[in-house]
Amino acid sequence: EPMLEFLKQQALRNPRQRCRLCLHSTPEDALHEMIIVHTKDVFVPPHVHSAKAESFSIISGKATLYLLNSSGQPTEAISLGEPGSGRALCAKIPAGQWHTQRFESDVAVFYEVTSGPFTPQGTATLWDANSPDHEIMAAAFLKKLHAFR
């Protein structure tokens, strides 16, 4: 698929190793649909959307969705993968559920759906990603996830 290859190349060229194609028209739309590409090196800080559910469907690649308690301890790991991978194709995250993802293939492409409008105030993280301790906290958190599996 040429579009998927284009998005993958954009992610690989991006210093943040990600790319997002918004299929909705504006941040104010009632429904947000996105095709998102993350490389294996992308770290998604543990977070929660207080009033919004979201769903993920893997288009290509592999990832694990971790559900967490409010102190960031993993409670469930859901292996996601492209069709034919033997993993779940999709997962729904209810509003108020702490979560994160770990990408296991060199590049993962997924379709994400959530309700709009986009309001960053409705999302909380376990720590400030701009903190000087972010790298240390992220490494310790990833170690915890690895031990959970």
pLDDT above 90 covers a percentage of the chain that reads: 89
Q: Do 137 and 131 touch, CB atoms closer than 8 A?
A: yes
For residue 15, give the 3-state DSSP assignment.
coil
For residue 32, give the 3-state DSSP assignment.
strand
- From residue 77, give the alpha-carbon distance in Å to each of 18, 52, 96: 22, 20, 17
Give the pLDDT mean for 129-147. 91
pLDDT above 90 (res 12): yes
pLDDT above 90 (res 149): no
How much is the pTM? 0.93
Which pLDDT band holds residue 115 (cuts at 50, 70, 90)?
A: very high
Q: What is the pLDDT of residues 46-82, one digit of tens each?
A: 999 999 999 999 999 999 999 999 999 999 999 999 9
Alpha helices in the chain (DSSP H): 2-13, 134-148
Measured CA to CA, the distance from residue 18 to residue 147 in angstroms comes to 26
Measured CA to CA, the distance from residue 31 to residue 23 in angstroms comes to 9
